[in-house]
Structure formats: structure tokens, C-alpha cells
């Protein structure tokens, strides 16, 4: 009997990392060059993201994967339009009813000190620090923690806190049902939450303006170097406390308390309901 020979195929080399179908937990790594100032998009779901800057024109990704043979996870890393895209790919049936832990692909990423970056996940946390550029961070139902970032930053989550420390950057975004905490955020700020407190210290605003909003929460705002006209509005007028020295009282006794902190013309808006506002 004549034996049959199967033809051999060689797959074309792609600049991506595809997953094996093995079950359990594993760690995979991949690095590709990216010039400082380049573009990077990274996405996963139900998994945390941690991003750190380093002094290399290179992106290094560590993927910690949990999956099963029935619901395998893979991830891709490839050059796209002069930039780079990193993406976790989940099976379509990942959200069907099942028993046990859902598939996940957690990313730990090292990036050049400057880039245009978009990082997104869901139902898990994002932590980032040590780099700058035009940056966006998006998740849901978990916290976002940012530290030592430069440039312009956008952030969004829900049902969890936003914390930003030592940002030489503008910052805008939103969350809900949790707190906002700011420390030494130098640029303009536009942030909102609901049913949570807002605390801030060491602000500046860069004359771009500062807007902080919540509901059913207190606000404790230490302006730092920020100057301009402060508009403090709450449903409980008697709960606006101005402890900052050397300010000019412009309006008091109505729905809004206004004071001027000499030095610039920017507007500093502070709004809540059913809570106190303290201005230091």
C-alpha cells in the first residue's frame, strides 16, 4: 500500500503573537520597536492593565492569561499605520453562562517616555505612570490610578475611584459612585463623579480652568498655586467654607459662593449637592 504524504505548509511570518490553545494559566511576552512619540493602542477586557514608562524606543508586553481549551484566549501585537496595536482576543462564547473563572488576559506594558496611547479594558483596574503624551485610559467597574504623567490625559471608569498624583498634564474624564482624589495635578482639570467625595491638593490649572463636580458627596479642595475666580455651588449654601487666605469675596448668600484668588482669570468651578465644599 502506498503511503500518503501530507504537504508541508509554512505560515507567513507576521508581527503578532498568537496564543496556544493550552488550558490553565500562562505568561507570554513580546517586544517590538516604537519610536518615542509613536502611537499605541492596547485593549483587553475583564483584566487589569499596568503601564510603565522606560528609556527605550520599544514596547515590551507581558500577558498573563487564564483560559481553557473550550474558551481559549490569544493576543496580538502588530505594527499598524506607523504605530502599534496590542489586543486580547476572546472567544465569542466567553460571555455565555459557565461555571468557573472567566477567561482573562492581563497586560503589563513598558512604553517609551513619550507616545500617543489609548489603553482600554473593562471590569478591572488600570495603573499607569512614568511617561507622557496624549493619553487615554478607559475601564469600567474598577479603579484608575495615574502617577507621574505628562501631557494631556483623558480617563473614564464607572462605580470606582479615580486617583491622580504628580501629573504635569491636563486631566479630563469621569466616573460614578466613587471618589476622585487629586494630588499635584498641574494642568487644567475637568472631572466629574456622583455619590462620592472629591479631594484635591496642589492644583495649578495652567490658566486652562478647573472644573470638579459630584453629587451627594463632599469636596475638600486645596488650591495650591491655582488662582482665578472660584465658583462654589451646592444645594446647601451654608456648607461652603472658604478657608483660603488673601481672597476677595465676590458673592455669598445665594445658590453660589464666588471668591477671587488674585493671579489669573481662569474659572475654578466646584459643584456638588447634599454635601459640603471646603476651599483651602
Average pLDDT along the chain: 90
99 contact partners, CB below 8 Å, separation of at least 6 = none
Q: Exposure of 119 by Cβ count < 10 A (0-12 exposed, 13-18 middle, 19+ buried)?
A: buried
Nearest-angstrom CA–CA distance, 279 and 219: 8
Residue bearing cell 461652603 = 240
Q: How many angstroms separate the CA atoms of 29 and 75, rounded?
A: 10
Neighbours of 127 (CB within 10 A): 17
pLDDT value for 2:
40
Contact predicate 172/154, CB 8 Å: yes
What is the DSSP annotation of 103-165?
PEEEEEEEE-SEEEEEEE-SSS-EEEEEEEEEEEEE-SSS-EEEEEEEEEEEEE-SSS-EEEE
Residues 148 and 127: beta-carbon distance below 8 Å: no
Please, are residues 185 and 167 in contact by the beta-carbon 8 Å criterion? Answer: yes
Q: Note the pLDDT of residue 235.
A: 86
Q: What is the pTM of this model?
A: 0.88
Grid coordinates representing 49 are 492593565
**Residue 23 has what pLDDT?**
59
User: 63 pairs with which residues across the strands?
Assistant: 28, 107
> Could you read off the pLDDT of 31-69 as tens digits, one per residue?
999 999 999 999 999 999 999 999 999 999 999 999 998
What are residue 83's phi and psi, to 5 degrees?
-120, -150
Q: What is the pLDDT of residue 100?
A: 57
- CA-based diameter of the chain, in Å? 101
Low-confidence residues in the chain, pLDDT < 50: 1-22, 94-98
Amino acid at each position: 500500500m502506498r503511503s500518503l504524504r501530507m504537504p508541508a505548509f509554512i505560515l507567513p511570518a507576521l508581527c503578532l503573537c498568537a496564543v496556544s490553545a493550552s488550558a490553565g494559566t500562562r505568561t507570554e511576552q513580546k517586544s517590538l520597536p516604537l519610536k518615542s512619540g509613536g502611537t499605541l493602542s492596547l485593549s483587553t477586557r475583564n483584566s487589569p492593565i499596568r503601564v510603565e514608562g522606560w528609556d527605550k524606543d520599544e514596547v515590551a508586553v507581558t500577558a498573563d492569561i487564564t483560559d481553557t481549551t473550550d474558551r481559549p484566549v490569544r493576543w496580538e501585537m502588530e505594527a499598524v499605520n506607523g504605530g502599534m496595536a496590542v489586543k486580547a482576543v476572546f472567544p465569542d462564547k466567553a460571555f455565555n453562562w459557565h461555571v468557573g473563572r472567566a477567561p482573562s488576559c492581563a497586560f503589563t506594558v513598558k512604553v517609551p517616555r513619550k507616545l500617543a496611547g489609548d489603553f482600554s479594558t473593562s471590569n478591572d483596574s488600570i495603573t499607569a505612570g512614568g511617561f507622557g503624551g496624549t493619553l487615554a485610559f478607559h475601564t469600567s467597574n474598577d479603579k484608575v490610578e495615574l502617577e507621574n504623567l505628562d501631557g494631556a490625559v483623558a480617563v473614564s471608569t464607572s462605580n470606582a475611584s479615580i486617583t491622580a498624583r504628580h501629573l504635569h498634564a491636563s486631566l479630563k474624564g469621569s466616573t460614578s459612585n466613587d471618589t476622585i482624589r487629586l494630588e499635584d495635578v498641574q494642568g487644567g482639570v475637568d472631572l466629574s463623579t456622583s455619590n462620592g467625595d472629591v479631594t484635591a491638593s496642589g492644583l495649578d490649572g495652567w490658566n486652562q480652568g478647573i472644573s470638579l463636580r459630584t453629587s451627594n458627596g463632599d469636596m475638600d479642595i486645596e488650591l495650591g498655586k491655582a488662582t482665578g475666580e472660584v465658583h462654589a455651588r451646592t444645594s446647601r449654601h451654608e456648607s461652603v467654607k472658604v478657608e483660603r487666605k488673601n481672597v476677595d469675596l465676590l458673592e455669598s448668600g445665594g445658590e453660589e459662593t464666588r471668591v477671587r484668588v488674585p493671579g489669573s482669570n481662569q474659572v475654578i468651578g466646584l459643584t456638588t449637592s447634599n454635601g459640603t465644599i471646603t476651599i483651602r
